[in-house]
């Protein structure tokens, strides 16, 4: 088989399964409305949960950062790319979340890959929730460590796996709020189980940070848990992009020596770090609290409406509200029907989610109005007939 034949066969298989992914350029993809081909849609596919991507205070902070530092960092943080703006943001994050250190990464994907690649050796074992993000599972699969997956949020099965003999160290991996189901991990049970076997817990709280807990401190803080490794990302609640790993002093120094994604990547622009500091200030302010309250009310409103519809949902009380329909074609048809009614909704299909669980992944944000939720529910009611 030639390269061309291999590629053609893989693409044909995706198309036949109604699983072929396409991208479409939009004029604006965050916020309450999305514009594509000069048509405006109410946006139910954005991860900008607090509506901060267009917050004037944060936009102006990025502009001021660019005026001071320029638009790029100029290199890796180990060479010349670590500025006082990066340092200030790391210190603010560590203080906010109660950790000795924070290390910035260019993305959440890079942070997860870097931590697992740097820490795990051939005698070690990774125990990952089966529904963990692709960045975590791919890093675990590529590492020399043994990978064992436990049933979703099943602390009992995790404990059984942890008790099996292991020559090296064990790392438990999970998300705080799961990106496709929107439900939350039982972090207290997972952490206690890990501690009994001297294992560490890594929590990717991409969808919880900024959104849940006091001052938006996230899932772990909300559950009174302090995982040894906490990954927070800035493309959701913060409304920007990038990520950070929160950890101990020795772990931070270790990652600075051995995390190749950190060592050999150009650091985020200093202007971005300035914007993230501004975003953190908003998240911790009364404005941030008001936005979280508004989002929580939207979630309650949506779930009340969904209870009267013949759709399968998940146990999600987060901004992520999936409607599981099973069949790929039906998910695509529902998404298209909603777009025809002026709502931008995305169908998520395997392999992103398990086979037979194709869904509409609806996301609610503080930028929405109550009328937006009601209009969405009316459209779902029509689609269910």
Give 101-152 pLDDT, tens digit per residue: 999 999 999 999 999 999 999 999 999 999 999 999 999 999 999 999 999 9
183, 204, 205, 372: the catalytic one is 204
Distance of alpha carbon 230 from alpha carbon 244, whole angstroms: 8
55, 86, 133, 191: the catalytic one is 133
- The residue count of the chain comes to 385
User: Global pTM?
Assistant: 0.94
Q: Which domains does the chain have, with CATH numbers?
A: 20-49+286-383 (3.90.1150.10), 60-284 (3.40.640.10)
Confirm whether 297 is a catalytic residue: no
Confirm whether 133 is a catalytic residue: yes
Confirm whether 55 is a catalytic residue: no
Q: Tell me: the pLDDT tens digits for 42-80?
A: 999 999 999 999 999 999 999 999 999 999 999 999 999
Confirm whether 253 is a catalytic residue: no
Taking 70 as the pLDDT cut, the residues of the chain under it are: none
Q: What is the pLDDT of residue 232?
A: 98
């Amino acid at each position: 088989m030639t390269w061309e034949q291999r590629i053609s066969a893989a693409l044909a298989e995706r198309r036949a399964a109604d699983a072929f992914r396409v991208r479409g350029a939009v004029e604006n993809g965050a916020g309450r409305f999305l514009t594509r081909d000069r048509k405006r849609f109410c946006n139910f596919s954005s991860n900008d949960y607090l509506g901060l991507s267009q917050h004037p205070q944060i936009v102006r902070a990025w502009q001021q950062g660019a005026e001071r530092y320029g638009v790029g960092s100029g290199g890796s943080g180990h060479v010349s790319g670590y500025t006082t703006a990066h340092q200030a943001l790391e210190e603010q994050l560590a203080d906010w979340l109660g950790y000795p250190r924070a290390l910035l990464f260019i993305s959440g994907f890079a942070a997860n890959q870097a931590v697992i690649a740097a820490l795990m050796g051939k005698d070690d074992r990774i125990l990952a929730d089966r529904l963990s993000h692709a960045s975590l599972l791919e890093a675990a699969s590529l590492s020399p460590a043994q990978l064992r997956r436990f049933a979703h949020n099943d602390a009992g099965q995790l404990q059984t796996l942890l008790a099996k003999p292991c020559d090296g160290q064990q790392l438990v991996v999970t998300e705080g709020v799961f990106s496709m189901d929107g439900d939350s991990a039982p972090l207290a049970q997972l952490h206690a189980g890990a501690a009994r076997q001297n294992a560490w817990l890594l929590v990717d709280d991409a969808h919880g940070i900024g959104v849940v807990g006091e001052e938006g401190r996230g899932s772990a803080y909300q559950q009174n848990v302090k995982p040894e490794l906490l990954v927070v990302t800035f493309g959701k609640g913060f409304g920007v992009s990038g990520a950070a790993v929160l950890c101990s002093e020795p772990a931070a120094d270790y990652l600075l020596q051995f995390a190749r994604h950190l060592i050999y990547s150009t650091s985020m622009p200093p202007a971005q770090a300035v914007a993230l500091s501004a975003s953190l200030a908003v998240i911790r302010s009364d404005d941030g609290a008001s936005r979280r309250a508004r989002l929580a009310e939207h979630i309650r409103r949506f779930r009340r409406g969904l209870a009267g519809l013949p759709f399968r949902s998940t146990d999600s009380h987060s901004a992520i509200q999936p409607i599981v329909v099973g069949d790929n074609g039906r998910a695509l048809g529902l998404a298209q029907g909603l777009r025809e009614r002026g709502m931008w909704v995305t169908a998520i299909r395997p392999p992103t989610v398990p086979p037979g669980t194709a869904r509409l992944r609806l996301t609610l944000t503080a930028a929405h109005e109550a009328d937006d939720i009601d209009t969405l529910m009316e459209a779902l009611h029509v689609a269910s007939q």
